[in-house]
A and B are shown apart, each in its own frame.
Chain A
Amino acid sequence: MGISKKPLIIVIVAIVAVLASASMIAMSLIQSTMTQATTTKPPEISGIVNGAGATFLNPQMQAWASKYYELTKGRIQVNYQSIGSGAGQAKFREGVLDFAGSDPPLKADIYQEFKEKGGIIQFPIIIGTIVIVHNLPNVESGKLKLTGEIVAKIYLGEIMYWDDPRIKELNPELDLPHEKIIAVHRSDGSGTTRVFTAYLAKVSEEWKNKVGSDFTVSWPVDQLGNGVGGKGNEGVAAAVKQNPYSIGYVETAYAYEVGLKTALIRNRDGNYVLPTRETVESAAKALVQILPRADEDWSNVFPDETVDAPGRESYPITSYSFIILRQVYDDPVKVAILKEFFHWVLTEGQKDENVVRGYEPLPPEVAKIGLDGLELLRTA
């Protein structure tokens, strides 16, 4: 046995040293590029703001943040991370975030709490849509017609087979099989489920009484053994793909990127629609009158009043993503950055070239809610 004590210690020291020096080198490299960026534009404000929240909003926020980072040559860094709407709101409330992104607005009691502590503003930043998808082998995408009531009955477990007369009646031209419907839903708490169940509750009294609307609900269809839970949109998309004769609901981007078949859904005026720029815009415009101001409580309006919007063209399951800000910040630099960035997002950011596939821009009337709200931002 040779007593060579050193190698192990040397290795450990070496590993730590390599790791540390690698990060140092990278750091200094970056620091130099950053100082470059700031020295070229000396008089303007520069800095970082940290936000987090809704997962749904994340890709669009990254696109905006990257674009604005380039436009300002690194002067303004908006750091947004997806941790979930509920967590985003909670961490924002605990004061560790500068802003929160959220699918639903603040609940009434939390809104009140903020109002008493210096005020809050919350405004829509982008529109998302939820689309019904299915895996019927013989039916093409965009052909199956459904109503909200039928979808509710499927998830209630009352309609169990595809050849149920109530589905056949809407689709006389389709050859629907006598197969059990597997109802796929989100297993994780999500804003998507909140909006989807708000829609079901609005069109079906029975759903409203038996199930209700929330981030997660207790799915009646699960108790019959015909439900499948998927974690996240990608989990639902995978489950619909892997299970023939299934039905599900996902954010529209996932339906198209994964290649799922979509179903038409009947809107309030009796037309069968898919989410498109026109149908989403129609729904948004129909709602402008009922939307509150940025400093008001949104909890009783969205999403329970905004789903199933009137209008011949309107798509019924649209969802807003919200940005939540305090009215008063300690740091004047943060106020300036937040104002500047979100002003850009609500104007330039809504143009086609800055909107990511799967999202729809706000009509100017709705964007104005946020623009007016930003005026309330101030320093302590």
Chain B
Amino acid sequence: MNKRKIIEKLMLGVISTLAVISAIPIFAIMFNVYAEGLKHVNLSFLIDLPPPPVGDRVGGIGPALVGTFTLVSLAMVIGGAIGFFTGLYLSEFSHTKLSQYTQMFLQIMVEFPTIIIGLFAYTILVAPIKRFNALAGGFALSIVIIPYIALNVREAYKSIPYTLKEAAFSLGVSAPVAYLRILLSTARRGVLTALLIGMAKVAGETAPLLFTILGTTFTYFGGLDQPINAIPLLIYNFALSPYERWHQVAWGAAAVLLTIILLIFIVSRLIVKEVKL
């Protein structure tokens, strides 16, 4: 008995230590981003055009902010929907060949360097219309997001106890009702996390955007068939330049991006309460 208690204390200690270790870099980076970034952020920073590398104008990230909202919305609508239903299928019809192959391919797709997906979108949506455009970026991000959402959703549905699934169907409701109302309400936390993880992932992606949306300096939004900017793209370009002004804007942009996503996380998680089984 005593030995078991000691092992318990020891192992809980090990788990907590490892958890803390894995969280240290998270906090270190967040601390860096906020310490460097927040001092540059104010209302005009959110609205203004990006500044030239030297000169008086402090500037802001207006076009990039609008662009990221647009692109992430596109990715969530297209990729989110496909990903969610794919994940549902993978979980509930896991015995089919289609399910097995799709799951395998989606797992491999996570490995594709995302720049390749950007180039794919370039071939399909940029080259034919002879213009870089927002839709191509949204399409590329949708592709990036699908495996993350599908695989996470699959796990969320799979974690519903079998007895509950049986109970849901024994109510005599149709399949859509059973999956999308009863079971979804059970798996809602996991599904929400799947969507949030996917959203977070694409909100920070640079590589698929390089050859799809081009980026803009003066245009906030010119239509889905026109170039657009995005926060990660702006950070990428500015952080790697030698100029102090651009470094400041890059840090500020990172702080804004993190804050927006954190807010979406907190609000949506407050609304969707955890299910206790």
Contact = CB atoms under 8 A, between A and B. Distances in A.
Interface of A: 1-5, 7-8, 10-12, 14-16, 19-20, 22-23, 26-27, 29-30, 48, 50, 52, 58-59, 62-63, 65-67, 69, 74, 77-83, 87, 91, 94-97, 232-234, 251, 253-254, 256-258, 356-358
Interface string B113-143: 0000000000000110011100000000000
Contacts of B77: 16
Q: Closest 9 A-B residue pairs measured CB to CB?
A: A257-B242, A63-B52, A5-B181, A81-B215, A59-B53, A66-B52, A30-B220, A27-B221, A19-B73
A75 B127 CA distance: 28
Q: Which of A30, A80, A91 has the most CB of B within 10 A?
A: A30
Could you say which of A81, A94, A251, A254 has the most chain B C-beta atoms within 10 Å of its C-beta? A81
Contacts of A94: 127, 130
Contacts of A83: 210-211, 214
A256 B242 CA distance: 9
A3 B264 CA distance: 24
A18 to B, nearest CB: 8
Contact of A1 (B127, B186, B214): B186
B216 interface: yes
B214 A52 contact: yes
Contacts of B219: 30, 48, 77, 79
B54 A82 contact: no
Nearest to B50: A62
Given A10-B271, A96-B126, A77 B218 contact: yes
A96 B130 contact: yes
B248 interface: no
A372 B34 CA distance: 50
A5 B54 contact: no
B107 interface: no
Contacts of A258: 242
Contact of A356 (B54, B66, B271): B54
Interface residues of B, number: 62
B272 interface: yes
B128 to A, nearest CB: 10
A65 B217 contact: yes
Contact of A8 (B69, B184, B240): B184
Interface in B236-276: 237, 240-244, 246, 264, 268, 271-273, 275
A11 B217 contact: no
Given A26-B65, A80-B217, A233-B242, A357 B54 contact: yes
A1 B192 contact: no
Contact of B53 (A52, A87, A91, A356): A356
A95 B188 contact: no
A190 to B, nearest CB: 12
Interface string B188-220: 100110010001000000000011001111111
Contacts, number: 162
A77 B222 CA distance: 12
A192 to B, nearest CB: 13
A254 B275 contact: no
Interface of B: 47, 49-55, 57, 62, 65-66, 69-70, 72-73, 76-77, 80, 126-127, 130-132, 164, 180-182, 184-186, 188, 191-192, 195, 199, 210-211, 214-222, 227, 237, 240-244, 246, 264, 268, 271-273, 275, 277
B66 A27 contact: yes
Nearest to B273: A7
Q: Indicate the member of B76, B188, B195, B243 with the most A CB atoms within 10 Å.
A: B243
A66 B199 CA distance: 32
A8 B272 contact: yes
A240 to B, nearest CB: 14
Contact of B242 (A67, A87, A95, A358): A358
A80 B53 CA distance: 14
A26 B72 contact: no
Contacts of B181: 3, 5
Given A65-B217, A234-B240, A5 B66 contact: no
Contacts of A95: 130
A20 B73 contact: yes
Contacts of A81: 214-216, 237
Contact of A69 (B80, B218, B227, B273): B218
Contacts of B132: 50, 96-97
B84 to A, nearest CB: 9
A19 B217 contact: no
Contacts of B277: 1
A135 B218 CA distance: 40
Contacts of A26: 47, 62, 65-66, 69, 220-221
Given A15-B268, A58-B241, A96-B130, A5 B182 contact: yes
17 contacts: A7-B188, A16-B73, A19-B69, A23-B73, A23-B221, A27-B221, A48-B219, A59-B52, A65-B217, A77-B217, A79-B214, A79-B215, A79-B218, A83-B211, A254-B242, A356-B52, A356-B243
Contacts of B186: 1
A63 B53 contact: yes
B182 to A, nearest CB: 6
Given A5-B181, A19-B69, A96-B131, A59 B243 contact: yes
